[in-house]
Amino acid sequence: MRIWMMWKSLFIAILLFINFFPSFVSADKVMYTNEVAVLVYHHIDDQVQGPVTISTKLFEKQMEAMLRQGYRFITMDQFKKFMSEKADVPDNAVLVTFDDGYESFYTKAFPILKKMRIPAVNFVITKGLEDPKGTLLASLSRDEIKQMRKEFSGVDFQLHSDQMHAMKDGKPLLSNKITTNGVTETDNDFKQRVINDTRKCMTKIRDINGAKSVDSYAYPFGSFDDQTISFLHEAGVKFAFTTKAGMTNVETDPMQVPRINAGSPYIRPLSINNLIKQALRHQIPDLTKN
């Protein structure tokens, strides 16, 4: 009887462990190979949450849960070698990305990433570098980016346009011609506007040593088309990131890299695992693509 009670207690303890700490049980499980789950975040704020704004605590819990579940975080350089050279990536590979270049990346996200040694890339709207405190949400400064690169080489800074993260007449500037005083810009003017903006963005990131190679772009508002891609290619962009959900493998178009939105307050720590499983099962159409 005593032995039976001991086994019963052990069985109950195991069930409780599985229920409350499911990530430990699956830490060694290979969920996918030769693919990368690219996560996207935007802003971190402990007072105000929104569709793409989460708290510091939630972000930290998400990262902790993913580490326990056996996900392996890779750098931007590893990702680019995977895409361009078919270099190996670890099983359950994950790339963490942030959009917009908000100061909260420095004050809230970076300390967590540095402590856990989790690489990440931030796609910066570089016009904010000129007056970091003058934007609606405080932007990263040049000194902050330099300091992060000095403290942890795993963080990378890439392109989210200089002046293109805006709309005119309800249309994204990157993928639409501008009409001013009834006059619509010519094909060549449109092309040069996009190329010049992209190269200006590149120059600013290079000047602060934001990355080993500055050649990656996140589409503002997720809006792009074939013409946009050709313009960015001409400007020197080799990799571009969308708002389309899905997984990335070596067959993925490097100018249409899908990403999974993990930066919502409704995405609990263990929910990212479910989002990745969903992305593995099927690709979700990008409704923002023109």
> Mind listing the pLDDT tens digit of every residue in the chain (290 residues)?
444 344 444 433 433 333 334 444 456 789 999 999 999 999 999 998 889 999 999 999 999 999 999 999 999 999 999 999 999 999 999 999 999 999 999 999 999 999 999 999 999 999 999 999 998 899 999 999 999 999 999 999 999 999 999 999 899 999 999 998 999 999 999 999 999 999 999 999 999 999 999 999 999 999 999 999 999 999 999 999 999 999 999 999 999 999 999 999 999 999 999 999 999 986 544 433 33
**Structural tokens at position 105:** 């990346």
Considering the entire predicted model, what is its pTM? 0.87
Question: CA 17, CA 19: separation in Å to the nearest integer?
Answer: 5
Q: Is 235 helix (H, G, I), strand (E, B) or coil?
A: helix
Alpha carbon of residue 59 to chain centroid: 13
Q: What is the pLDDT of residue 75?
A: 98
Phi, psi of 27 (to 5 degrees): -60, -30
